[in-house]
Structure 1
C-alpha cells in the first residue's frame, strides 16, 4: 500500500466528491480516481459506493477512515515537533553545574521557570568534575572551566568575579590601614583538599603568610563563618551581594574572575526543552549581572 494514497482517500471521504477532492489536492480528477482504485486494490476491498449524489464510505471504508485519521494526526504532530512549532516544551532535562551556581543562582529562580514550563522536569546534577555532556550524563551544563571537546556546543555566557569580604562587625573590630587591608586580620580558608580551587590558589599566591582562622570544605559554611565575624574570605561577588552585612575589603579587579560557559551536545541544540532551559540560564545570569 502506498501511504500517500491515504491523503486522497481522506479527501474523498470528507468531500464525497472526486471533483472537489481534485481541486483541493491540485490534481486531476482522474488522478484521484486512480489513487482510490489503487488503495482498494491494495486492501482488496471496496471503500466507496458511487451514487449520483457523490461517493460514500462502505463499512470497510469507515474502518479505514479511523486508521487514516490516526495516521494523519501523528504525521501532523511529527511535522510540528520537527519544524519547531511545538510551543509546549516538555520532558526531562539534566543540568550539570557547580554547587555554588545551583544554590545561589539557579534554585532561587526555579519557581519562575516552573511557572512558565510546568511540563519540564529539571534534574540538577552537582559535582561537574564527574559529569560529562559528551558521554550524555547531562543534557546541558553550566561550567567554570571551558571543555576542550570540539563536538560540543560551547558558549561563553558570563564572568564570575570574586573579591575579599568580611562582616561589618569584623571590619569594625579589626581595623586596618587602607594600604594594607589584611593587617591584623585572619582569613577563613579552604581545607587542603580544596587547594586546587581558584580562590585557594589566589590566596596562597598573594598572601602565603596570612593567618588562617578556620579551614572549611564548603562555600555555604564559609559564608556562614564570614557572617559570624570569624575572619575574611574570598567570595564570589554575586553571592556576597545577596548578603548586605558583608563588606568588600579587596575589590574584584585586584582579585580574580572566572569565565562561565554554557555547554550542550551539538545534537540537542534544536530541542525545544533544551532551548528554554538555556534561555532561562542566560536570563538569570544577566539578572545577576554576570553577563
Structure 2
C-alpha cells in the first residue's frame, strides 16, 4: 500500500523517473533541478521504507518494490487525469503502461505489425507484450489485458468474445508438386510438420492426432512460427491459422477450415480497470485489428 503521507507530487516524480529512467530528463520534464528530483525520490523511498530504483550507469531501473508501486501510481494518475478531463471538458490523452498477454503467433503476426498506427495515435502509452499466456495470470495482475484462445473461468474478470481464428491444412506449392496426391486423397504420401508431445493439448495437435493418427511426421517442432518456416521450406504439411497462411502466396490450402476447426478469440481484463482510458485504448485497438484481419 502507498503511504497516506504521499501526495500526487510525490507520485509525479516517481512516475517520471520510472518512465525516463533518468534524473536529468525528469528534471527537464518537471522544470526543477536534478538535485530536487533526487531529494524527492529519496523522500519517497524513506516514506515507504523501500528502495524503488536501482541506479546503473545506463539509468534508473525499477526494483521489485518499484514495480509494485508503479501499478498504484498509474491508477492514481489515471483517476486524476479522468477527473481533470470531466471537470474541464477536455479529452486528455491516455498515458501509462499497459501489459498485454497473448500467444506468440497473435503477437508477431497480428498485433506487432499494426503497432506503428497505435503508437502514432497514443504516443504516451507504453505497451508491454507478454507471450506464453499459460504462465501469465490476469487474476494476479500479472497483466492488464489478455487476448486468448481459451475462455477463462474466473467470474471476477471481464471477458468478451472479439473474434474467431480459423485453421486449415497448408503446404507449399513446391512440396505439393514434389509429392503429388489425388484430389480424393490429399494427404496420400505426404507428411506433417507436427508438435512435440508436450504440446499435445493444443487444438491443432488434437485435430491431427484425432483425424489422421497415422500421419507421418517429417519434422517435430514447438512453435507456430517454426511451423510456418518449415512449410515455406517445403518440409511438409501443417495445420496453420488461415489469417497467417493467407498472407503467403506460396502456401496452398490442402484441407479447408470447414474440415479442420476454428477457435474463439477472447479479450480478458480486470473488471476494476474497465474505466481506465489507456486500457480501453488498447482494447479498442485490438478489436479493430482483429476485424481488419477478418477474424470475426
The verdict on a shared fold, with TM-score over 0.5 as the criterion, is: yes
Quick check: 1:257 aligned with 2:262? yes
Counterpart secondary structure, 1:243: coil
Query: Is the contact between residue 85 and residue 92 of structure 2 (CA under 8 Å) also seen in structure 1?
Result: no
Counterpart secondary structure, 2:218: strand
Q: Distance in 1 between matches of 2:97 and 2:230?
A: 37
Deviation at 1:84, TM superposition (A): 8.7
Counterpart secondary structure, 2:137: coil
Counterpart secondary structure, 2:198: helix
Deviation at 1:85, TM superposition (A): 4.8
User: What's 1:219 paired with?
Assistant: 224
Quick check: 1:160 aligned with 2:199? no
Deviation at 1:82, TM superposition (A): 8.3
Aligned residues: 218
- Greater CA drift, 244-253 or 168-177: 168-177
* Residues 204-242 of structure 1: CA deviation (Å, up to 9, x unaligned): 000001111010111111111111111100000011011
Which runs of 5 or more residues in structure 2 are unaligned?
1-78
- Distance change in 2, residues 1:75/1:186 (3 Å): closer
Q: Moved runs in structure 1, 4+ residues, more than 6 A? A: 74-77
Deviation at 1:87, TM superposition (A): 3.0
CA RMSD of aligned residues (A): 1.9
Q: Distance in 1 between matches of 2:169 and 2:179?
A: 15
* Residues 2-31 of structure 1: CA deviation (Å, up to 9, x unaligned): xxxxxxxxxxxxxxxxxxxxxxxxxxxxxx
Q: Distance in 2 between matches of 1:224 and 1:153?
A: 36
The structure 1 residue matched to 2:101, chosen from 74, 85, 96, is 96
Q: Distance in 1 between matches of 2:195 and 2:262?
A: 18
Query: Is the contact between residue 163 and residue 248 of structure 1 (CA under 8 Å) also seen in structure 2?
Result: yes
- Distance change in 2, residues 1:88/1:258 (3 Å): same
Counterpart secondary structure, 1:215: strand
Quick check: 1:148 aligned with 2:153? yes
Deviation at 1:161, TM superposition (A): 0.3
Q: Distance in 2 between matches of 1:243 and 1:127?
A: 25
TM-score, structure 1 length as denominator?
A: 0.72
Q: Distance in 1 between matches of 2:197 and 2:88?
A: 52
Q: Distance in 1 between matches of 2:81 and 2:221?
A: 57
User: What's 1:111 paired with?
Assistant: 116
Deviation at 1:180, TM superposition (A): 1.1
The structure 2 residue matched to 1:278, chosen from 266, 269, 283, is 283
Counterpart secondary structure, 1:285: helix
Q: Distance in 2 between matches of 1:109 and 1:184?
A: 39
Deviation at 1:86, TM superposition (A): 3.7
Q: Distance in 2 between matches of 1:101 and 1:231?
A: 23
User: What's 2:204 paired with?
Assistant: 199
Query: Is the contact between residue 186 and residue 212 of structure 1 (CA under 8 Å) also seen in structure 2?
Result: yes
TM-score, structure 2 length as denominator?
A: 0.71
User: What's 1:237 paired with?
Assistant: 242
Deviation at 1:81, TM superposition (A): 5.8
Deviation at 1:91, TM superposition (A): 0.3
Counterpart secondary structure, 1:230: coil
* Residues 241-263 of structure 1: CA deviation (Å, up to 9, x unaligned): 11110000000010011100000
Quick check: 1:80 aligned with 2:80? no
Counterpart secondary structure, 1:224: helix
- Distance change in 2, residues 1:139/1:83 (3 Å): farther
* Residues 122-176 of structure 1: CA deviation (Å, up to 9, x unaligned): 0001111111111111111100000111111100000000000000011111111
